[in-house]
Amino acid sequence: MTPTAAVTLNEAQRDCYQEIANVAMGQAADRLARLLDVYVELPIPRVNLIEATDLHMALQEARNDEGLSAVCQGFIGSGIAGEALLIFNDTSVQDLAGLLNYQGQRSPWTTEELLMDVSSLLTGACINGIGDQLGIHFNQGLPAIIGRGRNAEELLQSGPYPWHKTLAIEIHYSVEHMNIDCTLLLLFTEDSVPKLNKKIDFLLD
Amino acid sequence: MTTRVLICDDSGFARKQMARALPEEWDKQILHAADGHEALEIIRAGYGDVVFLDLTMPGLDGYGVLETIRREDLPAMVIVVSGDIQPDAQDRVKKLGAMAFIKKPIDADKARAVLLEFGLLAGV
């Protein structure tokens, strides 16, 4: 195995990633807003180099007694690959189901359908939004539910993440006036980071 | 006459993109602000005839800037440039007095179209 190039991130690059994530999350939020007929609040995304332990802490923040559900979806294009992890707490899943079923144009949504559909919509739009801005066409894998009412530690162990330190984009969505929120974590593979940084540096030039 | 243009965005990258998207032949002087408070100081000092304003910013955000401009009746034509493209966001800023809304990412065509629409690029 060839040694991986050092994973680094300078301030200008961080700012650029953040702005690109901001635009992509806005496109995804717009789709969710139109689906649910709500307003989605958009805080500033967080861009960081993280280690496995940091991810553990991030998940812990989202954790509460009710447990979490998460959907993971891989993406790859132009030699850049990563995993998107969309994490809901179970209250959000219930409220989301309530909101969609209330609109009532179809038979009730099962929790699985709901997790898969909302994840495809949010994750798909976000990945495409980032790809468009960087000139990369990402192919997206099928979403898979990796945690249903499981706690954060189990969630971490079930993901295929053979990495030590990598780039993470953390995007938080919450629906205005409702108890619905979720976190989208985009984790790039370690060896994708130098290639991504090159694309970013090109934009910054 | 030189137009005093203010670009307000917390991202340095976004400010640069915005400045690059403005027509070269437009007679302008560009100032930058990294947050809402800085933007208001510049506008109060009379250096913000046309303001390109981001919405999501730490500290005072774009909505806060629009509210203050209206409350203090400041002479600024505000064009919101935002990644928050939800219908609600567009409605809210128009109600707060923004002249136009441009979806990020900004490009030269979008910028030119808005400037032409509001007669800011007359005779070019």
The label of the residue with tokens 């994840």 reads A119
Contact A19 B11 (CB under 8 A): yes
What's phi and psi for A39, nearest 5 deg? -110, 130
Q: What is the ipTM of this complex?
A: 0.92
Q: Can you give the pTM of this predicted structure? A: 0.89
Q: Is residue A4 part of a domain?
A: no
Q: Which residue of A has its CA nearest to B106?
A: A23
Measure CA A177 to chain center. Answer: 22
Q: Could you tell me the CATH number of the domain that includes residue A119?
A: 3.40.1550.10
What residue has token string 């300078």?
A: A10
- Per-residue confidence band for B36, with pLDDT thresholds at 50, 70 and 90: very high
Residue ranges of B 99-118 with Cβ closer than 8 A to chain A: 104-105
Which chain A residues touch B58 with a CB distance below 8 Å?
44
- What's the confidence (pLDDT) of residue A89? 80
Q: Provide the residue count of chain A.
A: 205
Q: Tell if the CB–CB gap between B85 and A203 is shorter than 8 Å.
A: no
Give phi and psi for B120, each to the nearest 5: -85, -10
Structural domain includes residue A79: yes
User: Across the interface, which of A12, A33, A42 has its CB nearest the CB of B56?
Assistant: A42
Residue in chain A nearest B82 by alpha carbon: A23
Whether B59 and chain A come into contact, CB under 8 Å, resolves to no
Number of compact structural domains in chain A: 1
Sign of CA dihedral A166, A193, A140, A35: positive
Q: What is the pLDDT of residue A189?
A: 85
| pLDDT tier, A28 (very low <50, low <70, confident <90, very high otherwise) | very high
- For residue A3, is pLDDT > 80? no
Assess B2–A contact: CB distance below 8 Å, yes or no. no
User: Is residue A65's pLDDT more than 50?
Assistant: no
Type of residue numbered A166: T
Q: Taking an 8 Å Cβ-Cβ cutoff, which residues of chain A contact chain B?
A: 12, 15-16, 18-19, 22-27, 29-30, 33-34, 39-40, 42-44, 133, 203-204
Note whether residue A145 is domain-resident.
yes
Q: Within 13 A of A115's CA, how many CA atoms are on the CB side?
A: 28
* d(CA B122, nearest CA chain A) in Å: 31
Domain B3-116 has CATH 3.40.30.10: no
Q: Which has the closest alpha carbon to A99: A17, A178, A173?
A: A178
Residue A59 or B95, more confident: B95
pLDDT for A17 equals 98
Question: Shortest Cα distance from B123 to chain A (angstroms)?
Answer: 32
User: Would you place residue A1 in the very low, low, confident or very high pLDDT band (cuts 50, 70, 90)?
Assistant: very low
pLDDT at B109 over 60: yes
Residue A139 is predicted with a pLDDT of 96
**Is pLDDT at A23 greater than 60 in this prediction?**
yes
The whole-number pLDDT of residue A202 equals 95
pLDDT value of position A2: 47
Report the 3 state secondary structure along A88-139.
Answer: EEHHHHHHHHHHHHHHCCCCCCCHHHHHHHHHHHHHHHHHHHHHHHHCCCCE
Q: Is residue A205 part of a domain?
A: no
Q: Is B90 on the interface with A (CB under 8 A)?
A: no
Burial of A12 (0-12, 13-18, 19+ CB in 10 A): middle
Range of the domain at A187: 11-198
| pLDDT tens per residue, range A170-191 | 999 999 988 898 999 999 988 8
C-alpha B42, offset from chain centre: 13
For the ranges A12-21, A61-70, B41-50, the lowest mean pLDDT is seen at A61-70
| Mean residue pLDDT across chain B | 95
The per-residue pLDDT of chain A, averaged, comes to: 84
Residue pair B63/B95 in contact (Cβ under 8 Å)? The answer is: no
A15/B12 touch (CB, cutoff 8 Å), yes or no: yes
